[in-house]
């Protein structure tokens, strides 16, 4: 009897929530874009050069067209405004990205922070906080920072 009840519940009451690979990829793109935008806005001075660097970072990370990048950034701006915290973004990244992929994202975040020629303490604080939420070691975070410095020519 119990076995039949279990089978009944599994067949009729189980909610299946299977996301396609494209859905997961889009959510990862959105989560990454939100974090990149948040870095640029951390110092309350969102410049054109930071916007360009974000677009370059998204293009490099996800190989999207210019129109797809602009659409993604518009969606990311909306999600960022709605967000109460960063867990919804970092938890997805933790689940789907490898350590090297997380380090690459962090490097892109540092690159955005350095885009305007100086590293603001709010930008640095935000990146360090996200690094912790991504479960990266300090050495991984600092290595990403050094790589970003070299490519940003600062």
114 and 49 Cβ atoms separated by less than 8 Å: no
Would you state the structure tokens that stand for residue 91, as one six-digit string? 């938890």
pTM listed for this prediction: 0.81
pLDDT of residue 81: 86
Length of the chain: 154
In order along the chain (154 residues), what is the average pLDDT of each group of 10 residues? 60 52 81 91 84 89 88 90 88 93 94 87 95 96 92 60
The Cα 21–Cα 59 span in angstroms is 19
Residue among 110, 87, 98, 89 at smallest CA distance from 136: 98
Residue among 56, 150, 60, 152 at smallest CA distance from 113: 152
Q: Which residues does 5 contact at the CB level (< 8 Å), separation at least 6? A: none
The Cα 53–Cα 32 span in angstroms is 13
pLDDT of residue 94: 94
Architecture of domain 21-152: Orthogonal Bundle (1.10)
Looking at residue 19, the DSSP 8-state letter turns out to be: P
Q: What residue spans of the chain are helical by DSSP H?
A: 2-12, 21-41, 48-62, 66-82, 87-96, 99-114, 121-133, 138-152
Would you state the structure tokens that stand for residue 58, as one six-digit string? 């998204």
pLDDT of residue 147: 93
Q: For the chain, give every domain's residue range.
A: 21-152
pLDDT of residue 84: 85
């Amino acid at each position: 009897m119990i076995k039949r009840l279990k089978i009944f519940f599994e067949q009729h009451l189980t909610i299946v929530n299977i996301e396609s690979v494209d859905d997961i990829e889009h959510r990862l793109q959105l989560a990454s874009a939100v974090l990149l935008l948040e870095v640029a806005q951390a110092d309350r001075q969102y410049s054109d050069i930071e916007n360009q660097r974000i677009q370059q970072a998204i293009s490099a990370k996800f190989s999207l067209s210019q129109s797809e990048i602009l659409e993604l950034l518009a969606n990311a701006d909306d999600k960022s405004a709605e967000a109460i915290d960063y867990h919804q973004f970092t938890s997805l990244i933790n689940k789907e990205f490898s350590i090297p992929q997380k380090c690459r994202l962090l490097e892109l975040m540092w690159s955005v922070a350095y885009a305007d020629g100086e590293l603001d303490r709010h930008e640095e604080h935000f990146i360090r906080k996200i690094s912790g939420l991504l479960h990266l070691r300090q050495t991984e975070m600092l290595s990403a920072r050094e790589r970003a410095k070299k490519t940003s020519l600062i």
